[in-house]
């Protein structure tokens, strides 16, 4: 979102502030490229917070025998969320194009 706002500010700058508009456009584009990279990369675990995907989606429950078991937690559909995000960006871009 921050990248899109910077792109909008850069495109809306008067001609006198052309350099500032180009800076806004470049940094906004950079933010969008980073956002797309982190959205589609395969390895979601970072080296700083080394929590595996399996550990994130499970909870520990102690069974009757006293042993801890990892039980999966039902998560929301991530593909649906991805589709909603793509639709949101398309609507945002279409609104910007129609306004210009």
**How do the domains of the chain map onto residue ranges?**
1-41, 44-100
In tens digits, the chain (100 residues) has pLDDT values of 778 888 887 888 888 888 888 888 888 888 888 888 887 776 655 555 555 555 567 788 888 898 888 887 766 666 787 888 889 888 888 887 877 5
What letters, b where the CB count within 10 A reaches 16 and e where it falls short, cover 38-69?
A: eeeeeeeeeeeeeeeeeeeeeeeeeeeeeeee
Q: Supply the pLDDT for residue 45.
A: 56
Distance CA 31, CA 40 (A): 14
Q: Supply the pLDDT for residue 87.
A: 92
């Amino acid at each position: 979102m921050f990248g899109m706002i910077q792109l909008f500010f850069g495109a809306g700058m008067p001609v006198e502030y052309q350099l500032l508009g180009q800076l806004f456009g470049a940094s906004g584009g950079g933010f969008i490229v980073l956002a797309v990279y982190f959205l589609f990369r395969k390895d979601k675990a970072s080296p700083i917070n080394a929590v595996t995907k399996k550990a994130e989606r499970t909870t520990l429950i102690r069974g009757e025998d006293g042993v801890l078991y990892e039980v999966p937690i039902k998560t929301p559909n991530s593909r649906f969320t991805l589709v909603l995000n793509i639709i949101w960006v398309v609507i945002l871009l279409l609104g910007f194009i129609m306004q210009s």
